[in-house]
Amino acid sequence: MTDVIPVIFDRQLYLARQQKASGTNAALVVHIAEDLADRLSVINHQFEKVLLIAQNAEAFATVLKGSGKCVDIDIRQPSIDDDLKLVAGTYDAVFHLMDIHCVNDVPGTLAQCGRALKPDGLFMMAGFAGETLAELREAWLACESEISGGASLRIAPMISTREMGGLLQRAGLALPVSDVDHATLRYGSALALMREIKTFGFSNPLIERRKNFTSQRMVAFAVSYYQQRFADSDGRVRATLDVLWALAWKPHESQPKPLKPGSAKARLADVLAKLDDNKA
């Protein structure tokens, strides 16, 4: 029996907005590209055939080429239907950047990337996660509960670092590592934040979003609530931005293996007792 994948995001709308906004979110792209360069610098591998999946691919491709570790780079735009159409065992590395937060079939996407890797191939991804825009989510929730008596989804659900580790293993990848790049941005007002989100093409892409016009009363309430709850002493408001980074490897016999249960040569209790003796 085939699992039915829930359709949460309007991919066509989201990617159309991203394409229209291409270049306007340069600061964010530069930040992600710099982080990519730092992370790639500590990986002691050479990747002959590389796949880059990203909307704003130029800056990322420049980093991969400049690293001296990526030779032949195949650039693809994110897919509307989550079908990446990848050939198994093709790539030495796959980089999936700033799209996973708006993918409907995350396990399927990760599995496709895993299958496309050669043994000992690298998978690396980045995307919004964690508490990204938690303040705005709370403001809209309070607004709609107060004014319309019910809340609709306005901020997409986010993946946690723990969830991503499990998803990578489920995709058949080994040695998963994930962490969050946490940043607190500041704006003159919540309205300025909302305008920037729209400019960057990150407006609500959820299928179940409210389709009707948002009234000035609702916007004013949300802005006021945000200002009261999340403003600093200088009047500027805070906004959380969490970028989840994760990497894993296609299994290979050269990779380190966990010890078998019962193979340890010392008991944990003995080690702890020795540490206590040393402190005495």
What confidence tens digit (pLDDT) does each residue in 102-146 have? 999 999 999 999 999 999 999 999 999 988 999 998 998 898 888
Give the pLDDT confidence score for residue 208 in this predicted structure.
Answer: 74
How far from the centroid of its chain's Cα atoms is residue 198's Cα?
A: 19
Give the pLDDT confidence score for residue 1 in this predicted structure.
Answer: 39
Among 75, 62, 55, CA closest to 126: 55
Domain 11-133+157-184+240-279 has CATH 3.30.390.50: no
The phi and psi torsions of 142 (rounded to 5 degrees) equal -65, -40
Give the pLDDT confidence score for residue 20 in this predicted structure.
Answer: 81
Give the pLDDT confidence score for residue 94 in this predicted structure.
Answer: 98
Sign of CA dihedral 216, 218, 221, 222: negative
Give the pLDDT confidence score for residue 7 in this predicted structure.
Answer: 86
> For the chain, what are the domain ranges?
11-133+157-184+240-279
Q: What residues contact 186, with CB distance under 8 A and at least 6 apart?
A: 232, 236, 237, 238, 239
State if pTM tops 0.75. yes
Q: Which amino acid is at 110?
A: L
Give the pLDDT confidence score for residue 56 in this predicted structure.
Answer: 81
Measured between its terminal Cα atoms, the distance across the chain in Å is 62
Give the pLDDT confidence score for residue 210 in this predicted structure.
Answer: 67
Q: Which residues of the chain have pLDDT under 50?
A: 1
Give the pLDDT confidence score for residue 63 in this predicted structure.
Answer: 96
